[in-house]
């Protein structure tokens, strides 16, 4: 089983950039799709971005398309989320996730492994 740990969250001002990292252990992520979700207080967990095993295909939610970029480094067992032009509504707990396919990441069905989350707070 894949164990995921996020880092890089913090308090930033609106308009600032921030990059989150997630390291995997337990097994190689070479053949897993990876992704990022976030959850604001009182709201359901929201899909943000996903990347296939080789990094050749990506998929983004409309709310972050053009502002966020997902990438991965299989040699380091890591996935990243680069966030630009942050807005107060981006505030929430950010989670990385692994799955068998991009569809498994994006959809509600399919097995996923979750990290513990890292807090991102964007001030006005």
pLDDT digits (tens, 9 = 90+) for 96-113: 999 999 999 998 777 899
Handedness of CA 109, 54, 60, 90 (dihedral sign): positive
- Alpha-carbon 67 to chain mean position: 13
User: Quick one: pLDDT at residue 60?
Assistant: 97
User: Quick one: pLDDT at residue 67?
Assistant: 97
Q: What are phi and psi of 78, to 5 degrees?
A: -130, 150
Closest-CA residue to 94 (of 10, 1, 3): 10
Q: Which helix (H) or strand (E) holds 60?
A: strand 58-60
Give pLDDT tens digits for 1-49.
889 999 999 999 999 999 999 999 988 888 899 999 999 989 999 999 9
Place of tokens 């972050």: 64
């Amino acid at each position: 089983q894949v164990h995921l740990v996020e880092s890089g969250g913090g308090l930033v001002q609106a308009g600032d950039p921030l990059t989150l990292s997630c390291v995997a252990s337990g097994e190689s992520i070479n053949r897993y799709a990876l992704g990022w979700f976030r959850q604001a207080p009182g709201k359901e967990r929201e899909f943000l971005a996903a990347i296939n095993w080789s990094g050749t295909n990506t998929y983004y939610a409309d709310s972050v398309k053009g502002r966020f970029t997902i990438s991965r480094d299989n040699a380091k067992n890591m996935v990243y989320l680069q966030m630009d032009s942050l807005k107060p509504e981006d505030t929430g707990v950010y989670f990385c996730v692994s799955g068998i396919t991009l569809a498994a990441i994006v959809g509600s069905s399919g097995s996923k492994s979750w990290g513990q989350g890292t807090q991102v707070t964007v001030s006005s």
